[in-house]
Amino acid sequence: MQKFQQYIGGEFSGGGAQFESIDPATGRPWALMPEARVDDVNRAVEAAEHALFSPEWSGMAASQRGRLLYRLAELVAENAGRLAELETRDTGKIIRETSAQIAYVAEYYRYYAGLADKIEGAHLPVDKPDMEVWLRREPIGVVAAIVPWNSQLFLSAVKIGPALAAGCTVVLKASEDAPAPMLEFARIFDQAGFPKGVLNVITGFGDQCGSVLTSHPKVNHVAFTGGPSTARHIVRNSAENLASTSLELGGKSPFIVFEDADLESAVNAQIAGIFAATGQSCVAGSRLVVQNSIKEEFLARLKEKAEKIVIGAPDDMATEIGPLCTQRQRDHAAELIAASVRQGARIVAGGVVSEGEGFYFPPTILDCSDAPETPAVTCEFFAPILSVLGFDTEAEALEIANNTEFGLASGLFTRDLARAHRMIRGIRAGIVWVNTYRAVSPIVPFGGHGLSGHGREGGLQAALDYTRVKSVWLRTSDEPIPDPFIMR
């Protein structure tokens, strides 16, 4: 089996505790991963804090930080093939998707490279003529970045990129599920020329790793992507160090289709929105909310396309859906489908787990019009499972769309511009895609509210969130400061 190492203080090590990583396509171990324990976490945080205050990093010009990030972007692009192969092997995501996504990840590092010397302060025209006052933006400090296994190179780029552009240092905890791509990324980062300790990459479990990291007294900010239950633990842990947090959590995103929509575009976007990445995406359009006048036609088109999707080995360029990442995901999805069917949901397509090795799950469509409170409608599956609800009026569509504890993404298909604007105002989500879905750009921030978290990643705002504002007062008068105890 391949063996991977953690990256702490500019050095690689893997001689301590280890655990097996499972190949989702076979269900068998394929690699050994380093299991970070308390001492490893402490070393990583200490290395990050030392780098934060070292003259090699803290004294570096912002433009030089930008040049290092440009170099990192080049290295990511050059090594995209290797990273894609590892991500496919370790997560089960299909190679055609990992290849395209990782190639685009380099653009995020390029964006933040260009932003590094544009994080500006401000001059304040205060009401005191003998004072000059300005604001400085300084790095927030040591950042604990915690990413899940799905889209991990992208989800780490939107944390590492702005944090380093702002002058922070980072301890990145990769998921204990499928961490190989992030541990390989550490090797690429090491070649970029950053000072030692600016980025540290570890992976491990619960109390011995994650809890220690998020409650560490020298961690100043926690940037987390994952589920609400883990986020609650992180928020509790952050009470120990009073670290600020940004949380990008789950979703149960509505995909709303009106009768005047371009149905071909809407069907294709819905297929991509729920079945891309085998449904393992926080922005998956997992709730189809479709006008009843076109519901049956729309479902027939979806069913036809869903049943033609090619399921196969993730490293085969012909494959369109690979396995789920873990056995527990597949079991969880099967349990929720069974519960939903018992409560009145109707299987339109898929729903039956195939025999054989690997954690495969078929594209599944559930008509939940007669069971709107089933798990298929309310729970995040993280699997290629679509729940369907019908509506008659615009007001009803909006009510259904907002009937969720999540609020990350949404999709809207209509040719009526006035209706689109009304729906945009009414939908409670951090992203509204109109007549498209899953479009992303380094320039555009994303995030949610409710159980989808708080804070934003991507864009200028993300870089500003990794800074503190320092107010500076400078007295310009040569006159002595008056004695405060002499009345005049």
Question: In Å, how far from its chain's centre is CA 467?
Answer: 20
CA distance 186 to 78: 14
CA distance 413 to 263: 9
248 in catalytic set = yes
Predicted pLDDT of residue 488: 66
Pick the catalytic residue: 248, 320, 380, 457?
Answer: 248
- Picking from 413, 365, 411, the residue whose alpha carbon sits closest to that of residue 386 is 365
CA distance 201 to 11: 10
Tokens standing for residue 353: 């787990």
Do the bridges between strand 411-413 and strand 346-349 make them parallel or antiparallel, or are there none, so unpaired?
A: unpaired
Please name each of the domains of the chain with its CATH number: 2-249+448-473 (3.40.605.10), 254-434 (3.40.309.10)
Predicted pLDDT of residue 487: 76
Tokens standing for residue 81: 């093939």
pLDDT tens for the 488 residues of the chain, in order = 899 999 999 999 977 899 999 999 999 999 999 999 999 999 999 999 999 999 999 999 999 999 999 999 999 999 999 999 999 999 999 999 999 999 999 999 999 999 999 999 999 999 999 999 999 999 999 999 999 999 999 999 999 999 999 999 999 999 999 999 999 999 999 999 999 999 999 999 988 999 999 999 999 999 999 999 999 999 999 999 999 999 999 999 999 999 999 999 999 999 999 999 999 999 999 999 999 999 999 999 999 999 999 999 999 999 999 999 999 999 999 999 999 999 999 999 999 887 789 999 999 999 999 999 999 999 998 999 999 999 999 999 999 999 999 999 999 999 999 999 999 999 999 999 999 999 999 999 999 989 999 999 999 999 999 999 999 999 999 999 989 898 76
Query: Residue 255 forms beta bridges with which residues?
Result: 288, 411
3-state DSSP of the chain = CEECCEEECCEEECCCCEEEEEECCCCEEEEEEECCCHHHHHHHHHHHHHHHHCHHHHCCCHHHHHHHHHHHHHHHHHCHHHHHHHHHHHHCCCHHHHHHHHHHHHHHHHHHHHHHHHCCCEEECCCCCCEEEEEEEEECCEEEEECCCCCHHHHHHHHHHHHHHCCCEEEEEECCCCCHHHHHHHHHHHCCCCCCCCEEEEECCCCCCHHHHHCCCCCCEEEEECCHHHHHHHHHHHHHHCCEEEEECCCCCEEEECCCCCHHHHHHHHHHHHHHHHHCCCCCCCEEEEEHHHHHHHHHHHHHHHCCCCECCCCCCCCCECCCCCHHHHHHHHHHHHHHHHCCCEEEECCCCCCCCCCCCCCEEEECCCCCCCHHHHCCCCCCEEEEEEECCHHHHHHHHCCCCCCCCCEEECCCHHHHHHHHHHCCCCCCEECCCCCCCCCCCECCCHHHEECCECHHHHHHHCEEEEEEEEECCCCCCCCCCCCC
Q: Cα torsion at 241, 242, 245, 250 (round to 10°)?
A: 80
CA distance 468 to 115: 17
Structure pTM?
0.96
Question: In Å, how far from its chain's centre is CA 36?
Answer: 22
Predicted pLDDT of residue 356: 84
Q: How far is CA 212 from CA 177, 201, 241, 474, in A?
A: 19, 15, 11, 41
- Picking from 95, 252, 249, 224, the residue whose alpha carbon sits closest to that of residue 158 is 224
